[in-house]
Amino acid sequence: MNIQQTAIDAAKQAGELIRERAGNIASVETKSSLFDLVTDVDKRAEGIIRRVVSEVYPDHCIFGEESSDGDVGDVSSSHEYVWIVDPLDGTTNFVHGVPFYCVSIGVVHKKELVAGGIYDPMSDELFTAAKSEGAYLNGRLMRVSGEKRIAESLLASDFPANEYRQATVNGMLKLSPLCRNIRTAGSTALELAYVAAGRFSGYWELGLKPWDLAAGVLLVQEAGGRVSDTLGNPYTIETSHVVATNGLIHEELIGHLAEANATG
Ligand code: IPD
Ligand code: CA
Ligand code: CA
C-alpha cells in the first residue's frame, strides 16, 4: 500500500466512526478557548488514524491535533515524513448537528506536501491529491473554478476560535459588497477542498493550525489554484494566515484584505 492509499484508508476508517457517532457524542470539552471544542469522537478518530498509519509506516511521524505537542517546523526537521492530521475538522458543526465536517490528512516529505486526503463522511465525498499528479474528487479529476474577478466570485472564510475574529469581520465588511457572496461553513479543510473542486472561488482565514491546512493546500495547488499567506508569501507548513484561490482572483483578494486591515 502506498502513502496515498494509506491516507485514504485511514481517513475513511476515521470517517466511518464519525458518521456512526454523529448525534451521539459522549463528551464535549474546551481547549485553547471557550470556543475551541473537542469531543471523545475527535480523540477516537485520531487514534484510528494513528493505528492505520503506524502499522504501515512505523518510522513516520504523526503530527495530530489531539495528541501532538510542539512545532510542525521542528518535527519536520527531525523526521523525513510527517503525517499532519486533523481527525475531525469542523468540531463545532459536529457538536451542533450541522453536517459539514471532515477528516483531513496531509503528508509532508522533507517539509514539502506530497499527498493529501480529505473525507466528508456525511456526503461520502473523498478529495485526494498527490504531488504533481493532480487532484481528484471520488476518483474524478477536479479543477479550480474560472472566475476572473472578485465581483463574480463565491468566497468563503471562517471565524477562528482565537483573537483574529475582528480582523475576519474587517475582511467581510470590505468584501461582502464586492463579491457574489461569502460563506462561513465552519470546516477550513472541507472549504479548501471546495476551492479545489471549483465550488468556492477562494477562501481566506487567519490564525489556523498546520492540520487545518496541509491536505487542503495540496488539493488546491494540484487542482490548479494558488495558496499563499495573507501577505502573498508562498505557503509553507508553518503558514497560519491563509489565502487559497483559483489563482485568477488571488491578487485582487489579497489587495482587499490589506486595505481592510484583515491580514494576520
Ligand atoms: C476549526 C475549523 C474552523 C476554523 C477554525 C478551526 P476544528 O477546526 O477548521 O473552520 O474556523 O479556525 O480551528 O477545531 O474544528 O478542528
Ligand atoms: Ca481543524
Ligand atoms: Ca479538529
Of the residues 115, 141, 167, which one is the last residue of a structural domain? 141
In a domain, 264, yes or no: no
Q: Where are the beta strands (DSSP E) in 121-196?
A: 125-130, 135-137, 140-141, 154-157, 181-183
Cα separation of 257 and 243, whole Å?
A: 10
Are 205 and 192 in contact by the 8 Å Cβ rule? The answer is no
Q: Residues 8, 137: one domain?
A: yes
The CATH number linked to 182 is 3.40.190.80
What is the model's pLDDT at position 1?
67
In a domain, 39, yes or no: yes
**pLDDT tier at 68, thresholds 50, 70, 90:** confident
In a domain, 237, yes or no: yes
* Ligand 1 atom showing the smallest separation from residue 207 Cα: 12
Of the residues 141, 167, 189, which one is the last residue of a structural domain? 141
Q: Could you give the angle at the alpha carbon of 79 between the alpha carbons of 228 and 161, nearest 5°?
A: 45
Q: Scan for cell 515524513, then name that residue.
A: 81
Query: Which residue's CA lies nearest to atom 8 of ligand 1?
Result: 89
Mean pLDDT of the chain: 97
CA of 186 relative to ligand 1 center, distance in Å: 6
Pocket around ligand 1 at a 6 A CB cut-off:
86, 89-92, 158, 160-161, 186-188, 205, 208, 212
Q: Among 29, 38, 212, which residue has the most ligand 1 atoms within 8 Å of its CB, making it the best to mutate?
A: 212
Paired with 141 in beta bridges are 136
Query: Which residue's CA lies nearest to atom 6 of ligand 1?
Result: 160
Cα separation of 263 and 243, whole Å?
A: 10
Q: pLDDT, tens digit, for every residue of 175-217?
A: 999 999 999 999 999 999 999 999 999 999 999 999 999 999 9
In a domain, 192, yes or no: yes
For the chain, percent of residues with pLDDT exceeding 90? 97
Q: Residues 129, 178: one domain?
A: no
Q: Residues 180, 206: one domain?
A: yes
Q: Residues 127, 162: one domain?
A: no
In a domain, 214, yes or no: yes
Q: Residues 222, 93: one domain?
A: no
The CATH number linked to 112 is 3.30.540.10
* Ligand 1 atom showing the smallest separation from residue 186 Cα: 10
Cα separation of 60 and 7, whole Å?
A: 13
Q: Residues 173, 85: one domain?
A: no
What is the model's pLDDT at position 69?
84
Contacts 24+ apart (CB under 8 A), 240-243: 240/206, 240/207, 240/208, 240/209, 240/264, 241/164, 241/205, 241/206, 241/207, 241/208, 242/203, 242/204, 242/205, 242/208, 242/213, 242/217, 243/202, 243/203, 243/204
Query: Which residue's CA lies nearest to atom 13 of ligand 1?
Result: 160
Q: Among 135, 123, 114, 134, which residue's Cα sits nearest to residue 90?
A: 123
* Distance, C-alpha 228 to centroid of its chain: 14
CA of 106 relative to ligand 2 center, distance in Å: 13
C-alpha cell at 60: 513516520
For the chain, percent of residues with pLDDT exceeding 70? 100
What is the model's pLDDT at position 44?
98
Domain range for 223: 150-259
Q: Residues 158, 136: one domain?
A: no
CA of 54 relative to ligand 2 center, distance in Å: 22
Q: Residues 123, 167: one domain?
A: no
Q: Residues 134, 49: one domain?
A: yes
Q: pLDDT, tens digit, for every residue of 210-264?
A: 999 999 999 999 999 999 999 999 999 999 999 999 999 999 999 999 999 999 8
pLDDT at 56 over 70: yes
Q: Among 211, 168, 239, 203, which residue's Cα sits nearest to residue 38?
A: 211
In a domain, 65, yes or no: yes
The number of folded domains in the chain is 2
CA of 225 relative to ligand 1 center, distance in Å: 22
Q: Residues 70, 134: one domain?
A: yes
Of the residues 141, 168, 199, which one is the last residue of a structural domain? 141
Q: Residues 117, 188: one domain?
A: no
Are 108 and 36 in contact by the 8 Å Cβ rule? The answer is no
Q: Among 46, 106, 117, 103, which residue's Cα sits nearest to residue 82?
A: 106
